[in-house]
Chain A
Amino acid sequence: MSTDITSPDITAAAPPHRGRRRRYSQLSRSDKVWLSLMVGIPSAIHIAFVWLPAIGTIMLSFTKWDGIHLGTWTGVGFKNYWTIFTVFDDKFFPALFNNLILLVFLAACSLVGVLLAYLLDKGVRGSAIYQSIYYLPVVLSLAVVGFIWKSVMYSQSQGLFNVGRTTPIDFLGNSQKLFEFHVPFLSFPLGLTKNFAALLLAMAWRHIGYVMVLYLAGLKSVDPSLREAASIDGCNEWQTFRRVVFPVMKPINVVVLVITVIEALRAFDIIVALKEPIGTTVLGVLVKNNLTGEGGGQVGIGSAYGVILLLLCLGFIIWYLINNYREQEL
């Protein structure tokens, strides 16, 4: 990669149709060395420690390995995936379903965040204070968030949700399902467990503030004359938002959507911090548990879970990149 940069290409003029001026001087030798180092070092680190391991996981997902002795892996084709979809279906599908629930739920939370941002943007007195309060949970560690909800809100002996109950409810220990339904190819029903629903609330506490801040900043950068024009043309408030403000905010909308999806798929911290109550497993936790189990764990299976998670994320990542870079030169 670093060889590309030292090629004369670096000083070549931009394509003529863009009308940019030709550079007047070639870069000196030492400048080229500098530039190749500036690109080479960060790229090497990023690719070596992020992308190569990712490729490694993909490869491991097609093998059987004890996870300890290098070179002792043996290829097994798609067997790990087959195992996940058949033998471990009672682990995989509930976890996937939890991720899905989380996605829908966080999407709804994003809408609440947008609503809060919209209300704050209308020039509410003290909006800075409201904003700080809504955003506060986002700067807390998820380990802390998990504990606070467990102890202050859900605790059987002292939690707020148990105040005044004669028989306290064990919110985080109850893996009964709130609703369930049968899927044709599964021998067990899928559904939302009560303790996962309780965790959702804690996650909402954090997610709403995050989206609110992003959206508020976006709203502030919308040209006020657009709104004015819309109101002169007789748009009511909803029409103005729906037809004028929302389309102008497209870059932020894309970011919020991507954050929502990626957060829903990557969910991990809060569940692990609460010692993974039964019924609250998500894909990220399955990956970790299979990879770090006793004696090295089931590396092949864990990696296959990881690849499934990666594929789910990658679709959205690519969509985001296309949206983000379309108007730039490629």
Chain B
Amino acid sequence: MSSSLTLVQRKPGYSKPLRSLTYAFLTAVALAWMVPILGAFYSSLRPYAETQRKGIFSMPDSLSFKNYGDAFKQGGMGGWHGTFANTAFIVFPSIALILLFSSFMAFAVSRFTWRFNITLLLIFTAGNLLPAQVIFKPLFSFYEHVPWPNFLSDTNTGHLLGTKIAVIIIHVAFQTGFCTFVLSNYMKTIPKELNEAALVDGASVPRQFFQIILPLCRPALAALATLEFTWLYNDFFWAVVLLNQGSERPITSSIANLGGQYFSNDNLIAAGSMIIAMPTLAVYLMLQKQFISGLTLGASKG
């Protein structure tokens, strides 16, 4: 946005020594930042016995992807009932519902004036900031007492607890708060006249929503989808407390599957970590622009 205005010199320049100092500092930080990830990657390529003997930061005797295959198998990641599939069955329906509901809500809040619209928006924004621990026990009891047919779940306990549906519901309830907040800010920037013109032309509310406002929100929706993907994919709390005993565990719990009680093969877990990190890293590297605008849409208003 500001690049079109930058014919005039934008910011005061540096003196020369200061400039090289800045580069040195930024590069040093960047290198330090990469060490843990690169170290984990490096160790994932090597056998356990070797790094135990020589440490991770040593020359390799052998490099292979063997740990990756083992981690994938032992972590139970593959297949229709594997942790990857479980995560996909949780994350994608959640994102679809979150975006649908929050754009509904944002539309009603930002394009119409009614008595409690700001109050509701406040409730949604505040709800998103609550600590998950605070709502967990009543929800847990509720799920425990809601019957759920076994043929719809892998856990076969006869109630909602331990099913993917339970996790989807809480993700939708929680994240709709954040997305409504972001989308309503975004929709406020769309001129009101557009609605009025549509109204004069006799367009109904669903038509205004689906054919006028929603298409204009595409950038914001893309940004939120990217952001929510990484958040829900990385979710740890709900996966731990709601899916703890079930066979519907998501990918983030695969690390726990890999570590034994008395002995853990760190190189195997490193490979597992790399596999787990891959989808979010790929999304981040490919959709960096959307990702960052998703974060900042929420931060800066309109």
Contact = CB atoms under 8 A, between A and B. Distances in A.
Interface stretch (B88-96, B102-110, B149-157): B102-110
A302 B137 contact: yes
A122 B131 contact: no
Given A42-B180, A262-B129, A123 B11 contact: yes
Given A151-B266, A330-B118, A52 B138 contact: yes
Interface stretch (A102-110, A190-198, A284-292): A284-292
A309 B133 contact: yes
A208 to B, nearest CB: 9
Interface string B112-140: 11111010111111110111111111111
B95 to A, nearest CB: 15
B56 A24 contact: no
B280 interface: yes
Contacts of B170: 49
Given A10-B114, A123-B11, A310-B130, 12 more contacts: A4-B115, A39-B105, A46-B177, A50-B174, A57-B136, A70-B145, A139-B230, A139-B284, A213-B295, A214-B299, A291-B133, A309-B134
B205 A31 contact: yes
A56 B137 contact: yes
A160 B113 contact: no
B173 A48 contact: yes
B234 interface: yes
B194 interface: no
Contacts of A130: 26, 30
B108 A5 contact: yes
B59 interface: no
B34 A47 contact: no
Interface string A168-203: 000000000000000000000000000000000000
A224 B2 contact: yes
A48 B130 CA distance: 14
Contacts of A320: 129
Nearest to B298: A255
Interface string B194-209: 0010011000111001
Contacts of B105: 38-39, 42-43
Interface string B264-275: 001001100100
B292 interface: yes
Chain B contact residues: over half helix, strand or loop, or mixed?
A: helix
B280 to A, nearest CB: 4
Contacts of A60: 137-138
Contacts of A147: 40, 255, 269-270, 273
B25 interface: yes
A227 B169 contact: no
A330 B121 CA distance: 11
Interface string A302-329: 1100110110010001101100110011
Contacts of A158: 43, 51-52, 54-56, 266
A67 interface: yes
B135 A54 contact: yes
A186 to B, nearest CB: 24
A285 to B, nearest CB: 9
A88 B13 CA distance: 57
